[in-house]
Structure 1
Amino acid sequence: MKKGPRLLVSTVIFLIILAGAVFAAMLVTERKSSYEKNASFFQEAKADHLDVLFIGSSHVINGINPLVLYENYGITSYNLGGHGSLLQESYWQLIRALQYCKPDYVVVDAYMLEKNYKYLDKCYEDTPEDERKTSIEQLHLNMDAYPLSRLKIAAINDLIEDKDIRNQFLFNFIVYHDRWKELEGSDFKRLTGTMNTNSAMGAEMRYLVKTDVDEYPQCEEGQVLDEHTVGEEYLMKIIDECQRDGIGILVTYLPFSAETKDQIAANTAEAVAERYGVPCINMLKEDGIIDEATDLNDHGHLNVNGATKVTNRIGEWFSQNADLADHRGDGDYSKWDELAADFHEELDDMLLSGNDIRCELNLLMRDDVSSIVYVNTESEAFHDEGIKHLISRLSGTDGIEMASATEGPYILIKDAAYGKYEACGMETIENAATAMGELTYIPIEKNFRLLYPSSDEEVNYLYDDTHYDEDIQILIYDNNSGEILTHLYYEPEQTEYVSTK
C-alpha cells in the first residue's frame, strides 16, 4: 500500500479511536443523576406504558409516588418533577416528554406560580449568587438525559439567557470534564449499561418527620396575585398544549406549610384552571389530607406517609373523573409489580433500622405493621409534643396525654390482625390476643415492668440488663408467626432521642 492511502487509513482509525475515547470520557464524567432519574421514563414511554405524567417542582418529586398510584389504582405514571423547577421548566419538560409518549393525562403542580422572571440564570436582581448557581445546577437533573436536538436547543434558549451557560447544557462535557477527582466506581457503569436507575418511576421518597407546625396568616378568601406572572403564563401554556393535543389536564397545588404568598398563588392557579375549564385540586384548602405534624419531611416537602396520602387523593380523583385502565394483573406490566414490591422492601428496611424515633413512629402507622411501643416512667418523651402527637396518631386515642399527666408509664400494642391495646399509668393489660400469642402487661415500678406471654411468666419482653432504663422501647413483630423482627431502644441526648440498639 502506498504511503498516502496508508496514512489516510491510519488517520481515520486514529480519529475513530479518539472520538470513542472522548465519547467514553463524556459518559464517565457526566453526573448521572439525570440519567438515573429518567432512564425508566424512556423505557416505559417506548413501551407505551404511561397513562399519566406528573410535572412540577420537588414538591412533586417528593409528593407523588407512582408505585402507590399503580398498586392502589392500577394507574401507570411517571414523576417528571424537578428540584427547583419553575413552571417554565415544567412546560419544557412536558414538551420534551411528549416527543416520546402521549399520556391520557398530565398533572401539573402550580407551586411557585408567583415567580415572575423568565431566565433561570438571572432570577431577580437581588437574588443571591449562590441561589442563581443552584437554579442552573438543578436544571441539569431534567435536562441532561435528553439528547441534543432542535427542541432541546429551543428549551435552553428560552430558559437561559447567558450563551456560555447555554453551552453547558447543549455540550455538557464543558461543565463535567473536570469531575475526574470525583469519579467513583458507579460512574463507569454508564459504559457497561449497568448504571443504577430510579426505582420509583421518577419519585424520591423522604423519611424524616417535621413535628413542629409552622403557622402563617391566612390570605383573604379568593385572593389572587396582583400581577400576571411568568409562572402564570407558562401554566397557561401547559394547559393550552394539553388541550391542543387532546390530553386531559389536572392542575394541583400540593400541601405543605404554606406561607400567605403560597396561598395566594394557589388561589391564582385555581382561577387559571377555572378560566380554561379544567379541574384543579388545591390541597391547601382540603382539610384531612395530611397532618402537618406527621406528614412533612421539612417546611416544604412531604415525607413518605404524606406522599402516600396525597397520591391516594389524586388516585381517588382519577377513579371518579377519568376512564383510565387498571393495569394490575396484566403480564405486560409485571415490572411495576416488581418495583412496588421493592418499595415495600425499602419501607421495611427503614422500619427495622429504627435510626430516627420520629421516622420510626411514623412508619409504625402502616396497617400491615404489628408493634409494641413502651414509654418508661418519668420519660422525657412525656414532655415532647412531637413524639406524643405521633404516638397519639398511632393509637387513635389521647392515652399518651393521660399517661403524661402522671409521668407514665405507657404502653401501646398495635396488632395488624387483632387490634390495639393501651395502658396508661398503673393500668394493666391481661390476655391480649396478638400474633405473638396472648400477652399480659403489668407495670411494677420505674425501670421494672412485665410484658410476657400469658402462658409463660418467665419471659419478659420489656426487660434487658443492658437496656433496663431506656426511655422508649419499640418491638416490631411478624404479623403471622409472631416472631420479633427487631427490638429498638431510645434515650434522650440533648434535645433529640437517639437509638441505643
Structure 2
Amino acid sequence: MKRKLILTLKTILFLILLGGVLCTVMLVTERKTSYMKNKDFFEEAKKDHLDVLFLGSSHVINGINPIDLYEDYGITSYNLGGHGSLLKESYWQLIRALDYCKPDYVVVDCFMMDRNYDYIDEMYEETPEEFRQAAISQLHLNMDAYPLSKLKIAAVKDLVHDPDIQKQYLFDFMVYHNRWNELEQKDFQRLTGTSEYNMLMGAEMKHELEGSISYDYEYDTAARLPEHTVCEEYLMKIIDECQRDGIGILVTYLPFAAEPQDIQSANSAGDIAAQYGVPYINMLQMEDIIDPKADLSDPGHLSSTGAKKVTDCIGKWLSENTDLKDHRGDAEFSKWDELSAGYDKEVRDREISYRLLTTQLNMLTLGDVSAALYLTEDSPALQDPWFRHLVSNLTGTDKIEEAGRDHQQYFLLMDRASGNIYEAVGYEPVENMDTSMGQMTYIPIEKKFRLLYLTSDENNNFLYDDDHLEDDVQLITYDNNSGEMLSHIYCESSHNYEIEE
C-alpha cells in the first residue's frame, strides 16, 4: 500500500513537472507579436481604462495613434487593428474584446469592404497562394494573445475553413514548436515578464516615406459596390452589436492612395452608416486632411505624421460629439502619461537624427525642435520635386522652388520658440535673426564657403567643416527653449538622402 502511494505521488509529481516544462516550452517558442501588441489591452481593460476601441486593418494599426489621442484630448483608447484584417475579423475582434471591457465608443474602418469571400484560407479561386498564406499568418497577430475558449473557437471556425489550419490558432504550439533556430532574448524574457511590448496601445507607426506616390484620383460620389459583400454584412453585425450593447459607434474610411474599388467601398459604407443612423467620416473625400507626399509611408499606409493628422480629426469629432472624459492629470492614468512621454522622446529623437534626411525633415513638421537647413547651388536635392515639397511643407512657403529653378544655394532657419522663419536664395544675406540660440547672421561668400554665426561671436561658423566639403546638404537642429545645439547632419543627397552614422 505504501509503495503504491509513493508511486502515485511520484507519478503526480512527474506529470506536474512535465506540464511545467511543456508550458515553459510553449511560452518560449510562441511568436511574441500578438502578446506584445495586446499586453496593454488586457491590463487596461481590466482597469476599465478604455473609453474607445479602434477596429480595422493595417490602415488602422498604422493610421490611428492612441497616445496622440490621449495627449491632445485626454481620451483613452486601444488600437485593435490587425494587418490584413477584414471586417469579418474586426467583428470577431470586437466580440472577443467585449469579454474584457465595455467601451463607450467603437470606431471601425471599412477598408477592403469590397472583399466578398467567407474564409481567409480560401479567398477567391484566382487568389495567389502567397496572399492566402500571408492572411493565415497575419491572423495570428490578433488571435494568439486570447486564451482558448468557446468564443475563440467560434471565431476561428467562422474565419478559417480548413480544420487543420484552424488548429494553428486553437493550439498555436503546432505552428511555433519548431522555432528553436529563431529564438531571441525577448523569447526568454516572456518567462520573467520583462519582454518588450507595444508602447502605443496597439498602434504601430511608420516614419519613413515613399516619394513616388500618385494621389490624383477623382472621387466619384455615385460609385457603389456592384454586389452585397460578406464584409458589408459584418459591418452591419458590428453596428448591430454596438447598438444592442449601448456602445456608440463611428464608421470611418481612412485616407490613402485609393483605387476605384476603394471609392465604391467608401460610398457603400456611407450608405450602411446612414441606414443605421450612425455617424460616418469618409476621409477619402477630405482633400486637405493629409499631404500625400509627406503623410503616406507607402500608397496604402499613413506615415506617423499622417497618423497624427487622422488621429486629430477623430479626436476632434469625439470631443465635439461625445461626453468622453478628459483623463489627463488623473493620477489613475499615470501610465498613459508615461507612454506619452516615451513616444514624445521617440519623435524628438527622429527630429534630431535619423538615417534618412527626408524622414527627419518630415518629422520636423511636428515642431519639437528648431532647425537650420543649407543646400549648395549644385545640390541634386534642389532638382528633386519631392525634396522641395518636403521643405515647402515644413516652411509653408515656396521659396525653395526659386532656388531649384535658378540653381542657387538655399538657406532656411526655422526658430520654433519665436515662430520666425528665415529663408535666403543665392547670395542673399540674412542678418540679426532672432532665435533661441541668440541673434544669428547668415552670409553666403562663395560656393563652398558660407557663414552662419551668432552675431555676438563671428569667429564660430556653424556652416563650415573641412571634412564635409563634398556634402551638399547640412541640417542643424537645436532646442526650442535653451538654444542648445542638438545635431549637425551632413548629407550627400545623391546617395538617396542616407545619412552616415
TM-score normalized by the length of structure 2: 0.98
Instruction: Find the counterpart in structure 1 of residue 477 from structure 2.
Output: 476
Report the residue type matching 1:319 in the other structure. S
CA contact (8 A) 2:412 2:423 kept: yes
Shift of 1:218: 2.9
CA contact (8 A) 1:216 1:260 kept: no
Instruction: Find the counterpart in structure 2 of residue 42 from structure 1.
Output: 42
Map 1:105-184 onto structure 2 (within 5 A): 105-184=105-184
Instruction: Find the counterpart in structure 1 of residue 488 from structure 2.
Output: 487
What CA distance in whole angstroms lies between the structure 2 residues aligned with 1:289 and 1:271? 22
Report the residue type matching 2:457 in the other structure. D
Shift of 1:94: 0.3
Q: Secondary structure at the match of 1:499?
A: coil
Q: Secondary structure at the match of 1:84?
A: coil
Report the residue type matching 1:384 in the other structure. D
**Percentage of pairs with the same residue:** 58
Runs of 4+ residues over 4 Å off in structure 1:
none
What CA distance in whole angstroms lies between the structure 1 residues aligned with 2:458 and 2:251? 59
Shift of 1:213: 3.0
CA contact (8 A) 1:216 1:259 kept: no
What CA distance in whole angstroms lies between the structure 1 residues aligned with 2:406 and 2:453? 24
Shift of 1:192: 1.1
2:316 paired with 1:289: no
What CA distance in whole angstroms lies between the structure 2 residues aligned with 1:369 and 1:217? 35
Cα 1:60/1:11, change in 2 over 3 Å: same
What CA distance in whole angstroms lies between the structure 1 residues aligned with 2:297 and 2:127? 26
Shift of 1:364: 1.1
Q: String of CA shifts for 1:29-65, please: whole Å, max 9, x gaps.
A: 0001001000000000000000000000000000000
Instruction: Find the counterpart in structure 2 of residue 332 from structure 1.
Output: 332
What CA distance in whole angstroms lies between the structure 2 residues aligned with 1:493 and 1:403? 17
CA contact (8 A) 2:32 2:187 kept: yes
Instruction: Find the counterpart in structure 1 of residue 421 from structure 2.
Output: 420
CA contact (8 A) 1:379 1:408 kept: no
2:427 paired with 1:431: no
Report the residue type matching 1:339 in the other structure. L
Q: String of CA shifts for 1:64-110, please: whole Å, max 9, x gaps.
A: 00011001001000000000001100000000000000000000000
What CA distance in whole angstroms lies between the structure 2 residues aligned with 1:30 and 1:213? 37
Shift of 1:469: 2.9
Moved more, 192-201 or 211-220: 211-220
Instruction: Find the counterpart in structure 2 of residue 72 from structure 1.
Output: 72
What CA distance in whole angstroms lies between the structure 1 residues aligned with 2:62 and 2:367? 22
2:108 paired with 1:100: no
TM-score normalized by the length of structure 1: 0.98
Shift of 1:480: 1.9
Gaps of 5+ in 1: none
Q: CA RMSD in A?
A: 1.1
Shift of 1:447: 1.1
Report the residue type matching 1:372 in the other structure. A
What CA distance in whole angstroms lies between the structure 2 residues aligned with 1:404 and 1:169? 55
Shift of 1:406: 1.8
Instruction: Find the counterpart in structure 1 of residue 4 from structure 2.
Output: 4
2:464 paired with 1:463: yes
What CA distance in whole angstroms lies between the structure 2 residues aligned with 1:493 and 1:291? 24
What CA distance in whole angstroms lies between the structure 2 residues aligned with 1:146 and 1:401? 53
Shift of 1:221: 2.0
Shift of 1:286: 0.7
Report the residue type matching 1:210 in the other structure. E
Map 1:313-328 onto structure 2 (within 5 A): 313-328=313-328
CA contact (8 A) 1:216 1:258 kept: no
What CA distance in whole angstroms lies between the structure 2 residues aligned with 1:459 and 1:407? 28
Cα 1:468/1:443, change in 2 over 3 Å: same
Q: String of CA shifts for 1:187-224, please: whole Å, max 9, x gaps.
A: 01111111211100000011111232314643532311
Report the residue type matching 2:493 in the other structure. P
Tell me how many residue pairs correspond in the alignment.
500
Moved more, 4-13 or 209-218: 209-218
Q: Secondary structure at the match of 1:124?
A: coil
Q: Secondary structure at the match of 1:397?
A: coil
What CA distance in whole angstroms lies between the structure 2 residues aligned with 1:49 and 1:215? 38
2:229 paired with 1:229: yes
What CA distance in whole angstroms lies between the structure 1 residues aligned with 2:69 and 2:290? 17
Q: Secondary structure at the match of 1:405?
A: helix
What CA distance in whole angstroms lies between the structure 2 residues aligned with 1:264 and 1:420? 43
